[in-house]
A and B are shown apart, each in its own frame.
Chain A
Amino acid sequence: MGLRTPLYDSHAAAGARMVDFGGWDMPVNYGSQIEEHRAVRRDAGMFDVSHMCVVDLRGPRVREFLRRLLANDVAKLAERGKALYSCMLREHGGVIDDLIVYFMNDEWFRMVVNAGTREKDLEWIRDQAGGFQVSVEPRFDLAMIAVQGPNARQKAATVLDPAIAAPALELGVFFGLAEGHWFVGRTGYTGEDGFEIMLPTQDAPQFWQRLKDAGIALCGLGARDTLRLEAGMNLYGNDMDETTSPLVSGLGWTIAWDPQDRDFIGRAALAAQKAAGVPHKLVGLVVEDRAVLRSHQKVLVAGVGEGEVTSGTFSPTLERSIGLARVPQQTADSCEVEIRGRLLPARVVRPPFVRNGKATIVL
């Protein structure tokens, strides 16, 4: 038996098909993954993401600590509640995890890290935090529910405590607010507007039911994966890990090189890679044939070299297969992918594939 979120019984009662995900028993779908996907693109859907780990970092030097720990720069966070997406790197430049960090106040930042990397993340963060007198507190007492889709915020607001609902509806994109033990962030992993709501575990089953009663569709990890891939968002463990740097993972934009004297962990290694020339890049692929891109399929670029699909799926919005692939830097606008023994042509595009319900690539 795997780890269970506080919503495990709710999923079972709803007839979810459960799978193991990073040691957790999680719902992959509640019926049709494609219908769940469409609910998020067209209306509103919700995901139990309580397996992800909320970590509170506190101390007078917490900002200084995070400027050392993360490849992106929390100095960009000037307004309270503002969030930042960043990689956390080893000294050699490999990605330990990707995460979101919220600036709560001068002595408190809140981080959300992946489920499968939780233990090593906490160990790493604690090891680095020592010299900064920063306390590192994983919030195992919090559940997390993502509500996503064009109508998600409005629908969720009808069942949130009015004291939270009103300011939550005023949140700017990539901002969050805390109210008592609750927290609402205008963030997500689908390419749609929405909230990620953290709440005490004991309140989660009832709140989940109220969101359902408000007309928000139950969505599993299957739809979460097709949605994030359409949105061109990386999945840790698929598209990057400790053996790959952000520079070969489509995450160069998350590295804050300025100011030049900020000595974040991994900086020297990344600078050396950049100076030597980055050999690979992460690109989007689209296949027109009736075949589906999957992780680890081989990519062939004529006259250039080989690469590999890191994530692939069937895109319900575009009704064809899409994927992310790590390919040689010189790759232009086409390649071939070996799919079940056949070499099929693929178009190289720049992700995202879909944002706010609409295709963002030429079909």
Chain B
Amino acid sequence: MSQVPAELRYLKSHEWARLENDGTITIGISDHAQQSLGDLVFVEAPEAGRRVRAGESCAVVESVKAASDVYSPVSGEVVAGNADLGGQPELINSDPYGAGWIMRIRPDDKTQFAAMMDAKAYEAALAAETH
């Protein structure tokens, strides 16, 4: 079974998001997503300063098996992409909720984050997907 940390928010497309103390939002892909993709081999994370809209594809994760878009759950400005993923894409496999984070965004407003699924809702979505 894949891990779904209770303190995070989720999208149906398997991104997770965490509201940081400074008001920024860290985004990555869920444990379920990395398991489905298999070994990651390339990650294209966005550069700081880029404006993104909620629902926009702003990163690409590519595994031995498939390439997948990563969607931003919020509109705002990218404050950082995870540069470590360039040389170590496997961080997403080994630590999807920690060292494998993909980007950090300063949201234009907080309601989009609040509208994301909580862990329970995401677990239910995963259960529905696999049955």
- A residues bordering B, Cβ < 8 Å? 17, 28-29, 32-34, 222, 226, 290-292, 294, 313-314, 316, 340
Contact = CB atoms under 8 A, between A and B. Distances in A.
Interface residues of B, number: 13
B41 interface: yes
A340 B60 CA distance: 10
A56 B65 CA distance: 35
Nearest 6 A-B pairs (CB), nearest first?
A314-B41, A34-B39, A290-B42, A33-B39, A314-B64, A33-B38
Contact of B64 (A222, A290, A291, A340): A222
A340 B65 CA distance: 15
The interface centre, meaning the residue of A17, A28, A32 with most chain B CB atoms within 10 A of its CB, is A32
Given A32-B93, A290-B44, A226 B38 contact: no
A282 B44 CA distance: 31
A222 B60 contact: no
Nearest to B39: A34
B115 interface: no
The interface centre, meaning the residue of B38, B44, B66, B67 with most chain A CB atoms within 10 A of its CB, is B38
Contacts of B67: 292, 294, 340
Interface string B37-73: 0110110100000000000000010101111000000
B38 A291 contact: no
A33 B60 CA distance: 20
B129 to A, nearest CB: 15
B35 interface: yes
Given A32-B93, A290-B44, A292-B42, A17 B64 contact: no
Nearest to B38: A33
A226 B38 CA distance: 13
Nearest to A319: B41
Given A222-B65, A290-B44, A32 B60 contact: no
26 contacts: A17-B35, A29-B38, A32-B38, A32-B39, A32-B93, A33-B38, A33-B39, A33-B64, A33-B65, A222-B64, A222-B65, A226-B64, A290-B44, A291-B42, A291-B62, A292-B41, A292-B42, A292-B62, A294-B66, A313-B64, A314-B41, A314-B42, A314-B62, A314-B64, A316-B64, A340-B60
A4 B88 CA distance: 36
Given A17-B38, A222-B64, A222-B65, 17 more contacts: A17-B35, A29-B38, A32-B39, A33-B39, A33-B65, A34-B39, A34-B64, A290-B44, A291-B42, A291-B62, A292-B42, A292-B62, A292-B67, A294-B67, A313-B64, A314-B41, A340-B60
Contacts of A17: 35, 38
Nearest to B44: A290
Contacts of B38: 17, 28-29, 32-33, 222
B34 to A, nearest CB: 11
A32 B65 CA distance: 12
Nearest to B36: A17
Interface string B61-94: 0101111000000000000000000000000010
Contacts of B64: 33-34, 222, 226, 292, 313-314, 316
Interface in B1-53: 35, 38-39, 41-42, 44
A316 B63 CA distance: 11
Contacts of B66: 294
A312 to B, nearest CB: 11
Contacts of A226: 64
Contacts of A28: 38
Nearest to A226: B64
Contacts of B39: 32-34
Contacts of A33: 38-39, 64-65
A222 B42 CA distance: 17
A292 B35 CA distance: 19
A158 to B, nearest CB: 30
A333 B29 CA distance: 39
A187 to B, nearest CB: 25
A34 B42 CA distance: 13
B14 to A, nearest CB: 16
B45 to A, nearest CB: 12
A32 B62 CA distance: 15
